[in-house]
Amino acid sequence: MDFSWSKEQKQLLDAVQRFASQQLTRDLIEGDRHDQFDHAGWKKCGEFGIQGLPVPTEFGGLAADPLTTVGALEKLGYACKDNGLVFSINAHLWTVVMPVITAGTPAQKQKYLPGLSDGSIVGANAMSEPNFGSDAFNLGTTARRDGDKYILNGSKTWVTNAPVADLFAVYATVDKSKGPHGVTAFLVPKDSPGLVIGPRIEKMGLRTSPMSEVFFQDCPIPVENRLGDEGSGSILFTRSMTWERGCILAGAVGSQQRSLERSIRHANTRKQSGQSIGKFQHVAGKIVDMKMRLDSSRHFLYHGAWMRSMGKAGFIEAAMAKLHISDSWVKSCEDAIQIHGASGYTVEYELERELRDAIGSRIYSGTSEIQKNLIASLLGL
């Protein structure tokens, strides 16, 4: 495995970091306080090419391989402090863009991928339901075939980007008796009759990434908007979740890098008892732990992406990356706050927001406990 960057890759990664540090600089204290999604930032990212990283060039994307893509998203997470925006972009990429790339018809790709790539279309994934949670394929939302259309009825929750979305990837069952084999995916525009967006869900962290419930009340969807074959939704969702688990925390690796550098600067400049606090063993030990977590997180991220670049499924690698990076991110945020002392506990220093944002990573895309169950099953347990 060679994780060194070519000249072209390095130019792209440097450009992403430069773009984010110069263009994605809004006041996040206010943005977080008022749950403000950065529409302007989203469009800037689209114009730069972030949402089009894995999209073929014929549809307006950059056609970046998986390793280059996570490297770029890591740089985005390093230079952009808006973890909510980065999270929304990842949710859009792995649960809407990637399914269209892998299962979309030529007409669907031509219709949706250019807008999904350039920032003019915001995607949202509607899978989780109020009564089932991690039991993902036990769906209550139904899709009844009626001539040249399907009629959707049901509700979804925890739908990231829903309040600002233009296009939903919706999973429903065409035959509940078939279990996972009845699950089918659909592309549903926001203006579809019978689609209702609920009020925003107020969250502990990632407050700049909007989320809400979505309801379908006799919502007619043309057959040509079915994504893949009838009954193939469970396979499509599993594949998209593997992409998401393996890649969604690329930005968190960048965030860990930023926190480490900031903590080192503070430890070298903050004086106590006539010397910098970095000379104290407990402070130095926390910084060493942060470095260890950063490097191991980066390895898990890159190794999983390399596996997908080699055409391998990478199920266990994706779950391990999700489990390890989320835990590392939370622990390093806690250490950064402790190193900064009372100042780290204040809103002004913005470290408390990093921790609130990080905690969610142990829950979304499958909880840490679910990742352990998945890894154990893949080990034959």
Alpha carbon 74 to its chain centroid, in Å, reads 12
Which amino acid would we find at residue 270?
A: R
H-type alpha helices, the chain:
7-23, 28-33, 39-48, 66-79, 83-92, 98-103, 106-118, 233-247, 250-269, 281-309, 315-344, 351-359, 368-378
Q: Are 150 and 226 in contact (CB under 8 A)?
A: yes
Query: In 3-state terms, what secondary structure has residue 146?
Result: strand
Tell me how far apart the alpha carbons of residues 186 and 347 are, in angstroms, rounded to a whole number.
Answer: 42
Q: State how far the alpha carbon of 374 is from the alpha carbons of 24, 311, 319, 380, in Å.
A: 36, 21, 7, 10
Tell me how far apart the alpha carbons of residues 125 and 236 are, in angstroms, rounded to a whole number.
Answer: 12
Q: φ, ψ for residue 367 (rounded to 5)?
A: -60, 165
Neighbours of 34 (CB within 10 A): 9
The catalytic residue among 244, 317, 352, 354 is 244
Write out the DSSP string of 96-116: IIHHHHHH--HHHHHHHHHHH
As given in the structure block, the two tokens for residue 259 are 């926190």
Catalytic residue check, 8: no
Residues facing residue 143 across a β-bridge: 152
For residue 372, how many C-alpha atoms fall within 13 Å in the half-sphere facing its CB? 7
Known catalytic residues are 244
